[in-house]
Structure 1
């Protein structure tokens, strides 16, 4: 999920299960005999063979909860990248290795919770790439993705679930669109579709996104944005200055161009979108990674984790709010002292119970049984208790693309926790 404007498929995982039918019977007929001291002939018992194990395979579509696939609670580690230059010493530092050990033993399981979300994301997006096709409604696409997330993460209130509404922004719309109820938009072959998926486990949010096209016109746009995201990942690290990371992203992004029907368009980094740090139950932390060079001297720090996301455009390279709102989130710092509407108070209780400070959308309110809530929701927005996030769009006729990964700044190495074989 983006900040506000200035804001070969993996093989199924398997685990062994007991199979009580595959035990070697030591007393069965035909076992070797031996003579006892008293002259009786007794059968010599064989040692029992270890029980054979059955394998549980992830289905298609994937629906097996990951706790069944990884019963030990240890989830796949992401791509490991050593720190650059002045921080290269961290990889072999005994002090930093000790801090890493402490982090691994964290009773809050910070790393494992994020990795669990990452494995859910990989499975969901691999499934999404297979089932999304032109002719589908945006609602069917969103439901297909979100049903899979809920099953794999084993949704359980605020313990585990969807991190934010699934972004399905198309074409010049770069971010913050998900279908509301009765949305009738149908995906077209010529569309450029951003798929932004969030998964959370105990408030640790995994944020990762990719872009789909169904014909080759905008392949170069996708390549530019993917390369820019990878540049951002490469430059990010402990003590990296946010403005310098942004400059490297912009340089990579704007080295590409796209030809459309004989006209060449430079790819522009969208100047008022950004990546961001992530905090507990808070998708947008206090640090932003802009996509154009700037003078921000703020440093990334050990133990933080970031969504490195980049957006490229064939348009003006700047987004504005446009269209019906679908995304909302309860504000951390909101005061409820002046709120008098009882319906708004009731809706706020529902939001707090089901979403806390996690972003939500109107479909999620429908799903938990709320109805006729739009007046109350708008009242909460007007009172500054809930923040609305309208769709963010570049110029009509332009195309935008997005790629994004979540990275952990561990004491010894940088972990691209959401990395997969696809991107």
Structure 2
């Protein structure tokens, strides 16, 4: 293939691609669960981020071992954002750490890829919440609102619908809980090696953003990372001055780096992460990574994921899932750990249409496989019958012919006439009643064995 030719795009129309998405999703779900279980009072955010990244690296290293050239691993580094921190908080060892306290609203965000096929997930919860000690007030409002927005999106992100339908539903649900969708946040279409695809869903757009944002229709065999961020405040996320630690390469930008440290850093980044988001914490020499990233970001070779904040005293909740738009309906592959009994809000969805939507099933249409299975069973039984019958008949025929041949030889040796030979042969033919019964038993036993194997 020439350098100008591009390989055909791989989509979920191929079973192997679906398998890779599901394998990545399974690891992402497990990583999320492990980090959430470890998020207890007194634990540092840094240790949680390290735990998530280490688990993903270890588990992806166990799959497709024979495919030496296949890249797999972290598609989005583990971020743990607390209370009014909106997103992308993934501290370095040299940064001031955050220690979790009872009652903190925690958001865990991470991603896994297998051969460039990305599975993202995010979950929100309150530290220390139990059935005996449920969450109430504004924290319960915002978490329940974000969860229901995610559930509505699961039912709306399907072939034939438009991205604007999701945006409108999110705004209505958020308002029902006296909350706001975080302004301008985007959910992206996913493609191989691409975390920010062309089609997007925008949250709570400004008038200008609404004009600029392109309307799009969802289509079969597309994949989306649906990312919901809801705030108890106005929903205006701003850079709070926290050091940016998460970046991704922009493949469309080219620049000749001047500093040796920058070139070394960029070379290692390309080799290990390619176009996937990464954290500076992943580099052995953190100080050199902090130095090298400056020139790369300045000339836009890297895109920063800034740490954003809502106003002090407000709370932000996040839920994110990856969905495959299959021919028989949307397939959610990254799951939520949400426990509704832990969150008691005084508010609920008010819009009648949204109520009906949320009460509808999100399950895919069942495939009609029963008829096919019965047909296969019939074919197997019939072929087994023919095989056993033909083998039995040939065996019986062979015995009969060899018996007749033996009788003929006896006639020739004794000199008996043709008549006596025919009589002798007929007697021999009729004598073996027991072999007939044995053949029948053999046939029935073989048939029953065949049926048991179905």
Change in 2 beyond 3 A, CA 1:422/1:123: farther
Q: Which residue of 2 aligns with 1:327?
A: 246
Contact 2:246 2:305 in 1 (8 A): yes
Contact 2:227 2:321 in 1 (8 A): yes
**Offset from partner CA, 1:13-59 (integer Å, 9 cap, x none):** xxxxxxxxxxxxxxxxxxxxxxxxxxxxxxxxxxxxxxxxxxxxxxx
Q: Which residue of 1 aligns with 2:288?
A: 372
Matched, 1:301 2:219: yes
Aligned positions of 1:112-123 closer than 5 A: 112-123=19-30
Greater Cα radius of gyration, structure 1 or 2: 2
Match of 2:98 among 182, 185, 209: 185
Matched, 1:252 2:159: no
Contact 2:121 2:335 in 1 (8 A): no
Contact 1:235 1:248 in 2 (8 A): no
**Offset from partner CA, 1:263-319 (integer Å, 9 cap, x none):** xxx211112212111121221112221123746421122221001111111111111
2:215 is paired with a residue whose SS is: coil
Contact 2:50 2:78 in 1 (8 A): no
How far apart, in 2, do the equivalents of 1:405 and 1:140 lie?
A: 24
Q: Which residue of 2 aligns with 1:383?
A: 299
**Offset from partner CA, 1:210-261 (integer Å, 9 cap, x none):** 01202524122111100011111111111321112111122122211xxxxx
Give 5+ residue unaligned stretches, structure 1: 1-101, 257-265
Q: Which residue of 2 aligns with 1:262?
A: none
Cα RMSD (Å): 2.1
1:254 is paired with a residue whose SS is: helix
Aligned positions of 1:169-318 closer than 5 A: 169-183=81-95, 184-214=97-127, 215=129, 216-217=135-136, 218-256=139-177, 266-292=178-204, 294=210, 296-318=214-236
Contact 2:123 2:338 in 1 (8 A): no
Structure number with the higher helix fraction is 2
1:223 is paired with a residue whose SS is: helix
1:180 is paired with a residue whose SS is: coil
Contact 1:134 1:186 in 2 (8 A): yes
Change in 2 beyond 3 A, CA 1:131/1:335: same
- My pick for the range that moved more, 153-162 or 211-220, is 153-162
How far apart, in 1, do the equivalents of 2:257 and 2:27 lie?
A: 39
Q: Which residue of 1 aligns with 2:54?
A: 147
Contact 1:166 1:198 in 2 (8 A): yes
How far apart, in 1, do the equivalents of 2:201 and 2:14 lie?
A: 30
How many residues were matched structurally? 308
1:142, CA displacement in angstroms? 1.2
> TM-score when scaled to structure 1?
0.69
Task: Using CA pairs under 8 Å that are at least 6 residues apart, name the structure with larger relative contact order, 1 or 2.
Answer: 1
How far apart, in 1, do the equivalents of 2:12 and 2:191 lie?
A: 16
Structure number with the higher strand fraction is 1
How far apart, in 2, do the equivalents of 1:385 and 1:130 lie?
A: 37
1:340, CA displacement in angstroms? 2.3
Change in 2 beyond 3 A, CA 1:355/1:185: same
1:421, CA displacement in angstroms? 6.3
Contact 1:326 1:389 in 2 (8 A): yes
Change in 2 beyond 3 A, CA 1:399/1:282: same
Contact 1:278 1:305 in 2 (8 A): yes
Matched, 1:343 2:261: yes
How far apart, in 2, do the equivalents of 1:244 and 1:126 lie?
A: 31
Aligned positions of 1:32-43 closer than 5 A: none
